[in-house]
Structure 1
């Protein structure tokens, strides 16, 4: 994992440890908290037009930034608890997507690719 991700993971681990919150940070609870934070992020953008969502006013951008921070924190914490290297997992998923969505066949298309054979 990259140094910045590791530092964030360590900082979150210490934040949780000194508050004795490890008991609450089960994968289930962290995934539920992550989903809740993603919902809060979505709520900030929900009724904006596509153009408005690309050019956020400073107040909305500040709220979106805070929600992104919450989402990232819970995601990093969940990965840490499960022993998953987020950077490695993202690269593996991108490798799979490159196989499923070749650029020539999917350029400019939002259609889904069929599942990969096992």
Structure 2
């Protein structure tokens, strides 16, 4: 499966089938999934702790891919559990961010908008 040919729906179905085959629906509650996402995101972050990484070597890239996949898998499962349409949610959030961070004002800036006067 490649990003260019795989739909979000197909990935959601794969995750749902994986969870269902193991009878894990009982554990995939919103709070549990939010915690799992946080744990996996921390594991991804830990790979970069104390390192200045400009380019990933093959070993590091494989580890990053695994942790990133774990985060996305739990996000897909959370969307499945809560009936959230991820495509709609992402597009909606990007539209909000476009208004909050207009490109002509924010190009090349990384400061927090909440700290702007």
Deviation, 1:21, is 0.8
1:1-118 → structure 2 map (5 Å cutoff): 4-49=7-52, 52=53, 54-114=54-114
Structure 2 CA distance for aligned equivalents of residues 35 and 86 of structure 1: 18
Q: CA RMSD in A?
A: 1.8
Question: When the two structures are superposed, what TM-score results if normalisation uses the length of structure 1?
Answer: 0.86
Structure 1 CA distance for aligned equivalents of residues 85 and 38 of structure 2: 20
Bigger shift: residues 105-114 or 74-83: 105-114
Deviation, 1:85, is 1.1
For 1:84-106, what per-residue CA distance to the aligned partner results, in whole angstroms no more than 9, with x for missing partners? Answer: 11121111111011111112221
Deviation, 1:114, is 4.3
In structure 2, runs of 5+ residues without a counterpart are none
Structure 2 CA distance for aligned equivalents of residues 113 and 73 of structure 1: 30
Deviation, 1:55, is 0.5
Structure 2 CA distance for aligned equivalents of residues 41 and 86 of structure 1: 22
Question: When the two structures are superposed, what TM-score results if normalisation uses the length of structure 2?
Answer: 0.87
Bigger shift: residues 99-108 or 59-68: 99-108
User: Any idea what SS the aligned residue of 1:24 has?
Assistant: coil
Higher helix share: 1
Deviation, 1:15, is 1.2
